[in-house]
Structure 1
Amino acid sequence: MIIAIDGPAASGKGTIAQRLAVRYGLPHLDTGLLYRATAAALMGAGRDLYDERAAIAAARGLGLTEFDETMLRRREMGEAASVVAAMPGVREALLEAQRAFAARPAGAVLDGRDIGTVVCPRADVKIFVTASASARAQRRALELAQRGERADYGAILADIEKRDARDSARSAAPLRAAEDAVRLDTTHLSIEEAVAEAQRIVEAARVRA
């Protein structure tokens, strides 16, 4: 069973994906970390984030588990990842690795921006998780504050709106819901409620299958 979960930043898709992976005993891949790691590799080498040739080389050199998640989850890395993720060559370089992960015998849970539309268009379950920009900014601010990082709500909201615009407007795999995806709006849901609703979506798909 392949479960594809897409959605914008801070919508809750990552936590939902992790919980579903545990529930169904499936491996989980947060594909956003691949783009964050690509950006981090560029920055660590002192390269320009907009240097597509260097970004492609960095993407090709990645493994799927060699990540310092604490560093990659920082707010500035999210913005940097959005820059390299808009590059068609970077997305192409990472595509086969993501598909190989999804092709494991038992299946997998993948979350990102283009799982249901590009990476796994034939996924058994497709969920598009969304929430209002203000709700997502509040969640991200709380997450940063809990990690002891500076949490400026206004700046975070501006970053989220900028990333939404860039992710939706890019030519390569823009952020959008697959036609057969089930939309899950988490604006007014707790994480437990959102996970429960996602599980109901998965179970309904299993019954139909």
Structure 2
Amino acid sequence: MKNYNIAIDGPAGAGKSTIAKNIAKKLQYIYVDTGAMYRAMALSMMRQGISTENEEAVSKACSLIKITIEYIDGLQQVKLNGENVTAFIRDEEVGKNASVVARYNTVRKKMVELQQSLASSSNVIMDGRDIGTVVLPSADLKIFLTASSKTRAFRRWKELEEKGILSNIDDIEADIINRDRQDMNREISPLRQAEDAVLVDSSNLTIDEVIDKIILLFKEKCKGDLI
């Protein structure tokens, strides 16, 4: 039986993870948060005191790190060398360092192998920066999800505010713009829209509107055979 794959790419803060999780629930597919895997790698480096700017040291340490994904009660759990680190990888500093380690070929090769293995054995929806271009180039549907930097900064500011964390929206936007620049200009697997990906701008859409739009695109692409 064929396994169906949906690839969602896009810049930081575009809502990829939230959208992908909800679509996975509706379709009863497995959601693979590739960004979480890179965050786990970054967390490991930070804990070991290894500068993520030191590619040689990161590459050497990478070979000794095991990152796995498990699903408990339908929720993704990320494990780093056997430890569940799901609760630790959403820190802002971890996110910044994840963007750095994701530039390195050794790290990306390790992650891609795991991601492709998951996709070959299950119906999955996967989000990241290079899913449609590198990880799942033959995905049944490819989406490039984006939003303006101001919209993405506001969303992140509101999220932090709801958690009682003080932040400056201008600083958040500056960080988002910098991460976009890093992701688009990295030598290995830069962020870009695949030629056959559908562009979806979520700036003026609600979460439900984006979800409905992508599911409709999926049904049209696969002619309604699978849902």
Bin of the TM-score, shorter chain as denominator length: over 0.9
Question: Contact 2:36–2:89 (CA<8 Å) still a contact in 1?
Answer: yes
Which range moves more in the overlay, 157-166 or 106-115?
Answer: 106-115
Where does residue 131 of structure 2 map in the other structure? Answer: 115
Letter in 1 for 2:40: A
In 2, Cα distance between the equivalents of 1:200 and 1:47?
Answer: 45
Shift of residue 179 of structure 1? Answer: 0.4
Partner-residue secondary structure (3-state), 2:87: helix
What per-residue deviation string (whole Å, max 9, x for no partner) do you get for residues 161-207 of structure 1?
A: 00000000011000001100011000001111111111111111111
Deviation string, structure 1 residues 105-160 (Cα, Å, up to 9, x no partner): x4211100000000000000101100000000000111112222232111110110
Q: Which structure has greater helix proportion?
A: 1
Percent identity reads: 40
| Structure 2 counterpart of 1:8 | 11
AA matched with 1:97: L
Q: Is the 8 A contact 1:38 1:55 kept in 2?
A: no
User: Which residue of the partner structure matches residue 54 of structure 2?
Assistant: 51
The answer for the alignment partner of 1:68 in structure 2 is 85
Given the alignment of the two structures, is residue 135 of structure 1 paired with residue 140 of structure 2, yes or no? no
Alpha carbons 1:125, 1:181 under 8 Å: kept: yes
- Asked if structure 2 preserves the Cα contact closer than 8 Å seen for 1:144 and 1:150, the reply is yes
C-alpha distance in structure 2 between counterparts of 1:68 and 1:147, whole Å: 19
| Residue deviations 1:11-53 (CA, integer Å, cap 9, x gap) | 0111111011111111111100111111110000111112224
**Residues paired across the two proteins, number:** 208
| Alignment correspondent of 1:42 | 45
Corresponding position: 1:102 with 2:113: no
Gaps of 5+ in 1: none
The residue matched to 2:199 in structure 1 has which SS? strand
Is 1:175 matched up with 2:191? yes
Query: Aligned equivalents of 1:93 and 1:53: distance in 2?
Result: 15
Q: What's the offset of the Cα at 1:76?
A: 1.6
> Aligned AA for 2:193?
A
1:20 aligns with 2:46: no
Please report the TM-score for the alignment, with normalisation by the length of structure 1: 0.94
Measured in 2, the distance between the counterparts of 1:17 and 1:55 equals 29
Q: Secondary structure, in 3 states, of the residue corresponding to 1:122? A: coil
Higher strand share: 2
Is the 1:16–1:198 Cα contact (8 Å) retained in structure 2?
A: no
Normalising by structure 2, what TM-score? 0.87
Match of 1:144 in 2: 160
Runs ≥4 residues deviating over 6 A: none
Shift of 1:87: 1.2
CA distance in 2, matches of 1:193, 1:76: 31
Structure 2 spans left out of the alignment, 5+ residues: 70-77
What is the Cα-based RMSD across aligned positions, in Å? 1.6
